[in-house]
């Protein structure tokens, strides 16, 4: 994928659509050749400035609608029991979903999860 913009959503959408490379139009010609060679060999080639963001972006894309619901309720200050009642889940299920959210967002507690989710536009 050859683009003018180094945008997170373009990268994620391009990869989801099957792109095997992501480079900007203003890179040196030699680098374009290197990218093409890598893709032909079966590798993925992404501009270095976007490579570091890829893991985080893919992790954010994996946040499920249920996890977003839980985050939105946590943002209101709802307890695990209140969240469970609202979402018609067992309280243990809420704790399991919460643990998965913490893993995906690389946070350690509910406050960090809500703050991170806000920062990332998830809620």
Residues 33, 67, single domain; the answer is: no
Hunting for tokens 């920062």 — which residue is that? 119
Q: Is 77 left (phi over 0), alpha (psi -120 to 50) or beta?
A: left
Residues 49, 76, single domain; the answer is: no
pLDDT at 115: 92
Residues 107, 67, single domain; the answer is: yes
Contact criterion met (CB below 8 Å) for 120 and 101: no
Residues 42, 83, single domain; the answer is: no
Contact criterion met (CB below 8 Å) for 63 and 122: yes
CATH number at residue 102: 1.10.10.10
Helices within 1-123 (DSSP H only): 8-16, 29-40, 48-61, 65-75, 80-87, 91-105, 110-119
Which structural domain range is residue 115 located in? 62-119
Number of domain units in the chain: 2
Residues 33, 74, single domain; the answer is: no
Residues 67, 115, single domain; the answer is: yes
Residues 24, 70, single domain; the answer is: no
Residues 50, 14, single domain; the answer is: yes
pLDDT tens-digit map of 71-109: 999 999 999 999 999 999 999 999 999 999 998 888 899
pLDDT tens-digit map of 26-43: 888 888 888 889 889 988
Contact criterion met (CB below 8 Å) for 87 and 96: no
Dihedrals phi, psi of 93, to nearest 5 degrees: -65, -40
Residues 36, 85, single domain; the answer is: no
- Considering the chain, what is the average pLDDT of its residues? 86
Residues 29, 71, single domain; the answer is: no
Read off the pLDDT of each residue in 2-20 and give the average, rounded to a whole number: 80
Read off the pLDDT of each residue in 54-76 and give the average, rounded to a whole number: 82
Residues 50, 66, single domain; the answer is: no
Dihedral of CA 19/25/26/27: which sign?
A: positive
| Whole-structure pTM value | 0.56
């Amino acid at each position: 994928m050859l683009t003018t913009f180094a945008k997170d959503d373009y990268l994620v959408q391009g990869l989801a659509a099957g792109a095997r490379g992501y480079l900007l139009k203003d890179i040196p010609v030699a680098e374009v050749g290197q990218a093409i060679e890598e893709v032909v060999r079966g590798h993925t080639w992404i501009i270095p400035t976007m490579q570091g963001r890829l893991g985080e972006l893919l992790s954010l894309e994996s946040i499920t609608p249920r996890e977003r619901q839980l985050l939105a309720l946590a943002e209101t200050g709802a307890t695990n029991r209140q969240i469970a009642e609202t979402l018609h889940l067992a309280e243990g299920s809420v704790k399991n979903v919460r643990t998965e959210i913490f893993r995906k967002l690389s946070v350690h507690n509910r406050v960090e999860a809500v703050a991170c989710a806000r920062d990332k536009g998830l809620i």
